[in-house]
A and B are shown apart, each in its own frame.
Chain A
Amino acid sequence: MARIVVDPITRIEGHLRIEAVVENGVIVDAFSSGMMVRGLEIILKGRDPRDAWAFTQRACGVCTTVHALASVRTVEDAIGISVPRNAELIRNIMEAALYVQDHVVHFYHLHALDWVDVVSALSANPQSTSAIAQSISSWPKSSTGYFRDVQKRIKTFVESGQLGIFANGYWGHSAFKLPAEVNLLAVAHYLEALEWQKELVKIHAIFGGKNPHPNYLVGGVPCSINLHEVNAINSERLNHVAKLIKDANTFVNQVYIPDLMAIAGYYKDWGAIGGGLSNYLSYGDFPVNGYNNSDSFKIPRGIILDRDLSTVHPVDTKNAEEVREYIKHSWYKYAGGDDVGLHPFEGETEFNYTGPKPPFDNLQTGEGDKYSWVKTPRWKDKAMEVGPLARVLVAYASGSKEVQEIVNSTLKTLDVPVGALFSTLGRTAARGLETKLIVGWLQGFFDDLVANIKSGDTTTFTREKWEPSSWPSTCEGVGMTEAPRGALAHFIKIKDGIIDNYQLVVPTTWNASPKDPQNQRSSFEAALIGTPVANLDQPLEILRTIHSFDPCLACAVHLYDPDGKLIHEIKVA
């Protein structure tokens, strides 16, 4: 039996540590630890709720916008307003643009190097790569000369002796299965995607002024529409958006999806590895008829239990019996003891670091030990996986025709059973499939925006409850969204126009958390159990499964303190 530590897990957002116990080449126990904490929620207390989007947006700069969106929805829910049609569409366009950009970056720049051997690409025959490229896609950059140039560039880079970001990778590992020619194709597209990804998010700059961290607004969107003015969203700005969307459709359909399918074909065995939990949660998103009308969401809301796709269970985040957070194995303490779970509205936080003083080699992870800054959320005391796979499964089970079609045809093309969905491969494939759907919806949202403007409606902001004096003296609200990484909810309590309590329960908190008091594992730990590790010194397989979740640790770790205690004064154990 051996214990492996992977810290830092790279190619993610934030600071994640994985300790895994390996027996006979297979992981038998695993511990996921969030290693950084900032305290956003205590910082929010006492501030103007209309500013909260900007603070919470800084929870994550990778899935930038999602916290801002959840936040404005939370405040709008609390004060009881809905946003104009144009604002709903522009928010959808911004969120869909994020999804597409974020998923493409995840696939090529955060996940691909787990499957693609860069060094192997050097021995590829560029002519064969060209033939493969042309057989799977009509993407024009596919000539022999093109791939020869890419190969030459990488060769020169490697021969310089300065390997930069590719230094010390697990090159030559026995778990890499792609032919050299496919490796070269993937490396070429790694570089193309890196150049392309900066384009689509220009949509955020057009509507929100900048990316990362575009501007949002409680009550609508900050930009105005005026077809008779250069100083507003006009036909030129909309044409720019239209072009970016068109190019995104081309890139996703001609590069990302063909590459995903080609690579997946060599890793079908990963359709039986890394499944982990059997419960899936989606809050749903992309309202087309108002945020309060969740039945009309493009991504449906609901829960799947025990991988039973015949039933979708409803979810109510305001119900204190449903969503609760535990701290049995997290570095906090509750007044009611370490075994209770608290609904976010009633949450409490006090630091209680019991781990070793750095520098250290191992964390203590025994039965009563705490080992993470991430809390452990549960739905009716059940562990839930969130993210692309959860969304696709909930949509499939909810009867979404387009999701059923794309999932069924993909299973058929890859010639794998339905059970392959519940796996590391299934998770990575689900992310690609939803990208294909969402980039199509993106065009639809834009067409609807143009049609609405054409009908004479240019309103982008609801003014009547802008002033806090128009709000009830106390109110509370929940704002939900599906971030690219999964179900995200913000909770607010407002008192006399200022924030009395604010909390975030974010996707990676669901997935990366330590065990709960009943010793149930969360997604990361559960998915690692049974994963083979061929070489203990190069645990490539751990990276594959963990990266398939697209971890985002900065937003997973947060804390709140409804009593406003100055927690930095608390003595550390």
Chain B
Amino acid sequence: MPKKLPSFWEAIEEKGYSRRDFLRYCSIAAAMAGIEAAGLPKVVRAFEKKSRPPVIWLHFQECTCCSESFIRSSHPIVADVILDYLSLDYTETLQAAAGHQAEKCLQDTIKNSRGEYILLVEGSIPAGNDGIFCMIGGRSAEQIFKEAAQDAGTIIAWGSCASNGCVQSAKPNPTNATPIHKLTSKPVIKVPGCPPIADVMTGVITHLLVYGNVQQLDSQGRPKEFYSRRVHDTCYRRPYYDAGLFVESFDDENARKGYCLYKMGCKGPVTYNACAVTKWNEGTSFPIQSGHGCIGCSEDNFWDNGPFYRHLPNFPGFGIESTADTIGTTLGVATAAGIAAHAVATNIRKKKLIDGQKERALKDKDLNGDEGGKE
């Protein structure tokens, strides 16, 4: 039966890649994982030793956009992920087996790789109500998740559904759609977004393979590697915000110049994600670059923080921007005076946000211990 499993290095050597290719791959993987040059040997060692870890990918209340995003990964490409990196033992979207043969794949991995397998969950779970709102193979989503979570080595919540409930948990949440961390006492790595960026998904997996289960997470359980910066702070249109240059209507002259979309409802100022840096689809673009504001799809309750096209100050609890908005409205935002006043106010706000972020960073540090990446 199964012989000793080949390591990642053995596997790709077998495929005809040179040692040089392998080291180059390791350095890219390390750079993606935010590991400095000094850490590279550790990465190389990790890939040399490990066989493909078993993975269970569960689907519950979702739209499969996370799976679709996953297969858009460009570095690494997904064919390499499923053939060389992981042993994707159960995934309803791609697996050949169906029915009880598929369920056997799930049971076999739970039984044979107890405490070792990576559990990836796509979708929220309709908790309670006897489980009737989502049933697979005659069992409820809640039963299936709890059983798989119990013996998992690592649990990752793919996307906003599993991380925060996403669209089906928007008011009035008819089926009691529940994010997975509420149904297990084990730690959950959250990779929110609707969907998450493809290369962020494979980046999180790569990080796990190299260092094991010690990602630096923020206070909400998101990898800091991808979720520590606001879209607003990394946005290439940020200078226009600071200068008070805004799109006032879709496809107006300012839209055609690519000014800031804040007044069109952009949620970049309250959204932590990698979109403006990593971008989407192999770095092709991201929502703001293509003319639409960020809808905040990686944040808790983002569906209920709308409407999407109303700009942020109109919401309770957003702070000093409401002052900026009032100034803008009084003076007329299209006038030079209005723009200047807005710019002054936004700069005050910027300082406040930076201060706030400092506090937040300190708080995260306390929660996660001083150093991440411990072995």
Residues of chain B touching chain A, judged by Cβ–Cβ distance below 8 Å, are 1-3, 5-6, 11, 14-16, 51-52, 54, 59-69, 71-74, 77-79, 82-83, 86-89, 91-105, 108, 126, 129-141, 143, 166-168, 170-177, 194-195, 197-198, 237, 249-252, 255-258, 275, 280-282, 284-292, 295, 297, 303, 306-309
Contacts and interface: CB of A to CB of B under 8 A. Distances in A.
Given A194-B79, A198-B198, A205 B280 contact: yes
Contact of A161 (B2, B96, B139): B2
Interface in A23-67: 35-40, 42-43, 47-48, 50-51, 54-55, 58-62, 64
A572 B258 contact: no
A164 B82 contact: yes
A61 B255 CA distance: 28
Given A195-B77, A358-B143, A209 B130 contact: no
Contacts of B83: 153, 157, 164, 191
A219 B104 CA distance: 50
Contact of A559 (B174, B198, B237, B307): B174
A454 interface: no
B177 A38 contact: yes
Nearest to B134: A36
A450 interface: no
Contacts of A543: 98
Contacts of A213: 65, 194-195, 297
A164 B136 contact: no
A167 B95 contact: yes
Given A38-B168, A209-B288, A358 B138 contact: yes
Nearest to B168: A38
A202 B284 contact: yes
Nearest to A44: B170
B136 A8 contact: yes
Nearest to B130: A357
A62 B64 contact: yes
A549 to B, nearest CB: 15
Contacts of A38: 61, 133, 167-168, 174-175, 177
Contacts of B143: 358-359
A39 B94 CA distance: 26
Interface of A: 5-15, 17, 35-40, 42-43, 47-48, 50-51, 54-55, 58-62, 64, 105, 109, 113, 118, 149, 152-153, 156-157, 159-170, 191, 194-195, 197-198, 201-202, 204-215, 217, 219-226, 229-232, 240, 331, 353, 355, 357-362, 373, 458-461, 463, 466, 538-539, 543, 554-555, 559, 566-568, 572
Contact of A54 (B139, B281, B308): B308
Given A169-B96, A204-B281, A55 B303 contact: yes
B2 A162 contact: yes
A61 B99 CA distance: 23
Contacts of B54: 162
A226 B135 CA distance: 50
A461 B251 contact: yes
A169 B5 CA distance: 21
Given A37-B175, A223-B292, 19 more contacts: A10-B93, A11-B94, A11-B95, A38-B133, A48-B309, A152-B14, A159-B3, A164-B88, A168-B105, A194-B71, A194-B78, A195-B77, A209-B280, A215-B295, A220-B251, A231-B258, A232-B256, A232-B291, A568-B173
Contact of B97 (A10, A35, A191, A463): A10
Contact of A358 (B131, B237, B291): B131
The CB with the most chain B CB atoms within 10 A, among A9, A166, A358, A566, is that of A358
Given A201-B281, A232-B256, A168 B307 contact: no
A538 B73 CA distance: 33
A60 B16 contact: no
A6 B97 CA distance: 10
Nearest to B198: A198
Contact of B68 (A205, A212, A225, A358): A212
B102 A156 contact: no
Contacts of A162: 2, 5, 51-52, 54, 87, 89
B174 A43 contact: yes
Contacts of A538: 101
A567 to B, nearest CB: 5
A230 B11 CA distance: 44
Nearest to B93: A11
Contacts of B15: 149, 152-153, 156
Given A8-B92, A215-B290, A51 B307 contact: yes
Given A48-B306, A165-B96, A202 B250 contact: no
Contacts of A215: 287, 290-292, 295
Contacts of B194: 58, 213
Contact of A229 (B132, B136, B258, B292): B258
A353 B129 CA distance: 10
Closest 7 pairs between A and B when the two form their complex, measured CB to CB: A231-B258, A61-B65, A161-B2, A169-B96, A39-B174, A209-B287, A209-B290
B92 A10 contact: yes
A222 B290 contact: yes
A231 B238 CA distance: 13
A5 B136 CA distance: 12
A211 B72 CA distance: 9
B281 A205 contact: yes
A5 to B, nearest CB: 7
